[in-house]
Amino acid sequence: MLDLERIRRDTPAAETAVFLDSAGSSLSPTPVVETAVAHLRREAVVGGYRAAIERKDDLAAVKTSIATLIGAQASDIALSDSATRAWSDFFYSIPLAAGDRILMCEVEYASNAIAALQRAAATGARVEIVPSDPTGQIDLLALEEMLDERVRIVSLVHAPTNGGLINPARAVADLAHRFGALVLLDACQSIGQIRVDVAELGVDALSATGRKWLRGPRGTGFLYLRPELSASLEPPALDLHSAQWVGASEYRLAPDVTRFEFWECDVAARLALGTAVDYLLDIGIDSAEEAISQRAEYLRTALRGLDGVSVHDLGDRRSGIVSFTVDDLAPNDVREFLAAKGVTVTVSPRSSTLLDMTHRKLVAVVRASPHYFLTFAQLDDMVEALRTR
């Protein structure tokens, strides 16, 4: 069971406002903030190089903590500056040729889709979309029919940015692997709010961010790579950390997933990411998942009870993202109206998930994402504000 009193002490802003944008960039707990600030202060005294050397073991421990969270080994983790960078580094390392096929889900995130279209144009590969089924999740029957030996990679968004469903990653991986395709899981919105175990899911690669449900700082993320894959892939860009210059016309790649990292990084942010993951491990991911799910379902039910409010979440299994619209207010106006009441939400526009939103005839939705540090009374305050609009 969550120690909500302690968690709220560690999240001072949770006492003064209703924060419902953890799917965007969450509120970091005090220990995370203190880790980052302490390292920056140390850098101001001894310089960045020495400060990093002093924390070498702690930096290594960040990967260990992430690996513990997702059921991997530290040697399977490459640290990055965002989920998009981690996703792209893996995706661009997959060899593609004319006639190869890239399968993407209908709820694909814009950054992923743009990268796939760029690579298709450069290589002659084709991007094809697997439709959603009536529940909003990826259609497994359609996927099975589309798979063949020409499919090089299946890209799956675990939890879409514009609504509260969770896609069946294990079922997708099992189907794709029957045809020799790789599975890249965008776990940007699932890491930190639900249990994600890479062994149970069976995916080949996974990308994630630190700033959302993990409650870490911006500018952090990571890539998980199935260990057998590391030696066969060359990232699109290298430096003296990811490879070694061994001769006038020769370089040697790092032997493991380190080849997907650059030497330069925000050390303070990475240390703070480690603190954020440790904070979650201390709380317990199952406790966090239960609390987030309870709050999201409570909010959905309350919003459905309001005249003129439509909830747009789909899926057999739902995440902590709650998407809705208000009949007499544009989503941006809802965001500003609630901000004036001390409630923070955001807007998910059609351009972020173009195919899904177009299919459902949605221009934009208001996105509320309650984390475990919210009280139910605060959710009532948000709903009451909309009731009296």
DSSP state letters, 230-296: GGG---SS--TTTEEEEETTEEEE-SSGGGG--S---HHHHHHHHHHHHHHHHH-HHHHHHHHHHHH
pLDDT of residue 1: 80
For the domain covering 4-28+284-387, report its CATH number.
3.90.1150.10
Provide the residue ranges of all domains of the chain, joining segments of one domain with +.
4-28+284-387, 32-282
**Residues listed for the chain:** 389
Degrees, nearest 5: CA angle 216-378-276 = 15
Distance CA 294, CA 204 (A): 31
> What is the pTM for the complete model shown?
0.97
pLDDT of residue 232: 93
pLDDT of residue 61: 99
pLDDT of residue 199: 97
Question: What are the distances in angstroms from CA 202 to CA 169, 172, 182, 347?
Answer: 8, 9, 10, 33
* Contact in structure between 381 and 18 (CB atoms under 8 Å): yes
pLDDT of residue 90: 98
Top CATH class, 32-282? alpha beta
Please list the pLDDT of the chain residue by residue as tens digits (389 residues).
899 999 999 999 999 999 999 999 999 999 999 999 999 999 999 999 999 999 999 999 999 999 999 999 999 999 999 999 999 999 999 999 999 999 999 999 999 999 999 999 999 999 999 999 999 999 999 999 999 999 999 999 999 999 999 999 999 999 999 999 999 999 999 999 999 999 999 999 999 999 999 999 999 999 999 999 998 999 999 999 999 999 999 999 999 999 999 999 999 999 999 999 999 999 999 999 999 999 999 999 999 999 999 999 999 999 999 999 999 999 999 999 999 999 999 999 999 999 999 999 999 999 999 999 999 999 999 999 999 98
